[in-house]
Structure 1
Amino acid sequence: MEANLTQEVQPKVSFVIPAYNAEKYLDRCLQSILGQTYQPWEIICVDDGSTDSTGNLLEEYASCDHRFRIIHQKNGGLVYARKVGVAKATGDYVSYVDADDEISLTRCEELLPEMRRGADIIFTDFVQVYGDGYQQKQNSGLTEGFYDRLSIEKKVLLNLIDEKYVFRQLVRNSLCGCLFKTKFIQMCQMKVDNSISIGEGCAAMVTCLLAAQSLSVAHKGAYYYYKNNDSMCHQVNRGAELLCQRQSSMALIKHLQGGARRLPLEFKEKVERQMNILAYNNILLHDYELFGEMGGETIFPYGVPMTAKIVLYGAGSLGVQLYRFISTHGGHIVLWSDRSYKKHRDAGLNVDPPEKIGEVEYDYILMGIGQYELAVGARDELLSAYGKELSSKIKLLNSDVMTSECLAMALEKMKAENDENVIK
């Protein structure tokens, strides 16, 4: 039942900020919290083994404001850093903020009525900011209002993701776009395996949704998520990180499937399907190779022959993964294109503008863009520029081939790799 609103209640917000080598972005992030129009709050920063000046910058802020608490530790990864930070929270609500992001100055003030309602989770607005300055406003995908446990089961857990369009999330799974009751998130965060680096936000959010007794959705209080070139370069230069990625993929699949097994029988099967798609959603972006070979002589999950002449459109997470796999497995990419080609060239990628598509001979254009709305928008731009007859050549992800059997095969593959590494 919805709690009574009392004007006297002034909930305290604990901002938990994991930071690793974030010296370039910290000021922007911290100033957006210091400038909040609402009090009271505290900031808990976890310096997760930074080798740049991150630790010193945090100490400078702490020396000027008693509301800062700084924790320095050896690098343990994002999940562990969040666990350490949230365990120290003393506020009524926790708001995670990544060190390279920022929040609107009125975020807490706008969300005060929602905090007074006392929901376990508060979904807020979310703005994705790209390297070229383009901003895309998103909401949680849920209708604004208050949800009890029954509503969470029927309206949220059964509609986590659009099964037809694999990367269209109907419920956004980023922790940073939410506020959580402190004791609630402390309990849920501890259930996430520290080894999950791929899809850690998804793993934690699913845990929260399975446990929540109440949820509030408010299309306000914006969180600004920045996609920066540093993370992109990290994806391109993979090297010895493959083993860690595989361990993370395995842990994520097991975590998601384990949660579905504990659901009521009446909708267990559908939620299991949702969990499987969420696993694909996260792993394809960072460990595409795990599934790539399942396409056989075609490119997974597009169904396009590997021998075809390919224009790859998109140079974000999925595009980079596809380019690497196709190029090293006998495929023929005649052009790699993206609207933000200048930014990607600065990151060391050989990406050309979309205008080049008209200058090359090709069989198909693969939309290597992980976010459905952006992929469809880019497709429509191409159709407008080159004509509707191009539609048969443009291929988006095909969810029909992303089966639970493929996930089972992926798990077996990872177990075999793990056993081989143990023997070595």
Structure 2
Amino acid sequence: MTNELVSIIVPVYNIEKYLEKCVRSILKQSYPYFELLLVDDGSCDSSAQLCDSFEQEDCRVKAYHKINGGVSSARNYGLSKATGKYICFVDGDDLVDVNYLSDLLSCMDEDTDFVMSKFYYLDGSYKFTPPPSEDIKGNVDVLFSNHDLLLTCYPPYGKIYRLSCIRTFDLRFDEKVRHGEDCLFVFSYLMKVNKVVFSSKVNYYYIRRGGSAVSRIYPFEETYYSYKTIYDLVSQFVFVRNITGKPNKEQLYSMVCTFAHRAINSIYNGASYSLDERLHLLKKIDFNLLGKYMYVSNAKDFLIRILYRIHSYYLYDKVRCFIR
């Protein structure tokens, strides 16, 4: 392992209850060559002061303060300030193990552009699938060989990136997207790289809390924008990478289906729409895609996929209004 500098970017916004534990877990890293960029995104609590105190305490910490612009804006600001060879992201209310950096870096060599690992969910709301018994190495396509691997690609944390690649291709988090922006960034990066590694080590602890972004319902306009953006990105990805294998193609488009379902859910769980309005919005979603690539895990999913395949927006609406 070389002594290359790693820039760890932590977006901070009103997390005074959790920030200290997060930062302490980072500062305890067995790999010491890193800079910790705490980007305060206009916090209204004491988070900003905590960032400054950490900067005074440890020379590896750099505190930045900006007007509130959202998590994507904070991460992009961190990218503009980073000086390391590699980039890692950590959410300010999560935790990392002492070997988080060292285990990721142990998989990185001159031919590797991206390393990722699984992560633990500490609230018990997700089923944890054990990591592989050994590292998986290969071209980018290897990450789409099964659904569990694909899901691990979604968030930006639990991964290490080359800053040179990010800057060469001017990759940024889309600040117009409030849910799914991290997935868009990761796949934009993967479209530009070749060799990747899926590490068998698990050293990141994701803590889902009430009111987190993943548990909110967003307006249809926002969720639809995310869906269309990821749809276009995946279609481009499949074309550029010449992905023709059925399993990999199915996994990638199943991700688009996830974003489509978020858009559909915003119709039924958000604002109150009339029947005509619901049908108008539903017709913006590609039911052919959902009928072909939707991931099915239970009987309810199977029924919904049949409705997509027969392409009946009216019948689908009746069923959704009944089961919501």
TM-score bin, normalised by smaller chain:
0.7 to 0.9
The equivalent residue for 1:15 is 8
Contact 1:17-1:43 within 8 A present in 2 as well: yes
Deviations 1:63-112 (A, max 9, x none): 21221112212222222222211222111211100111111012123334
Deviations 1:186-230 (A, max 9, x none): 456725432122222221222222221211222115111111113
The equivalent residue for 1:263 is 241
RMSD: 3.7
| Counterpart pick for 1:289 among 249, 263, 266 | 266
Task: Could you tell me which runs of 5 or more consecutive residues in structure 1 were left unpaired when the two chains were aligned.
Answer: 1-6, 163-167, 293-320, 330-371, 377-393, 410-424
How many corresponding residue pairs?
291
Partner of 1:45, secondary structure, is strand
Distance change >3 Å, CA 83–CA 77, structure 1 → 2: same
Q: Distance in 2 between matches of 1:404 and 1:78?
A: 37
Alignment of structure 1 residues 9-158 onto 2, 5 Å: 9-116=2-109, 119-130=112-123, 136=128, 138-139=130-131, 144-147=135-138, 151-153=139-141, 155-157=142-144
Q: Distance in 1 between matches of 2:8 and 2:171?
A: 17
Distance change >3 Å, CA 188–CA 226, structure 1 → 2: farther
Q: Distance in 2 between matches of 1:204 and 1:405?
A: 34
Taking CA–CA contacts closer than 8 Å with sequence separation of 6 or more, which of the two structures ends up with the larger relative contact order? 2
Contact 2:5-2:85 within 8 A present in 1 as well: yes
Partner of 1:136, secondary structure, is coil
Larger Rg: 1
Partner of 2:103, secondary structure, is helix
TM-score by length of 1: 0.58
| Counterpart pick for 1:279 among 233, 244, 256 | 256
Contact 1:128-1:137 within 8 A present in 2 as well: no
Partner of 1:110, secondary structure, is helix
Distance change >3 Å, CA 283–CA 73, structure 1 → 2: farther
Letter matched to residue 49 of structure 1: G
Identity %: 23
Alignment of structure 1 residues 287-326 onto 2, 5 Å: 288-290=265-267, 321=269
Partner of 2:183, secondary structure, is helix
Letter matched to residue 395 of structure 1: A
TM-score by length of 2: 0.74
Alignment of structure 1 residues 124-273 onto 2, 5 Å: 124-130=117-123, 136=128, 138-139=130-131, 144-147=135-138, 151-153=139-141, 155-157=142-144, 159=145, 161=147, 169=150, 171-187=152-168, 190-231=171-212, 235=216, 241-264=219-242, 267=244, 273=250
Partner of 1:229, secondary structure, is coil
Letter matched to residue 196 of structure 1: V
Contact 1:276-1:404 within 8 A present in 2 as well: no
Letter matched to residue 280 of structure 1: C
Letter matched to residue 259 of structure 1: F
Q: Distance in 1 between matches of 2:133 and 2:259?
A: 21
Distance change >3 Å, CA 22–CA 284, structure 1 → 2: farther
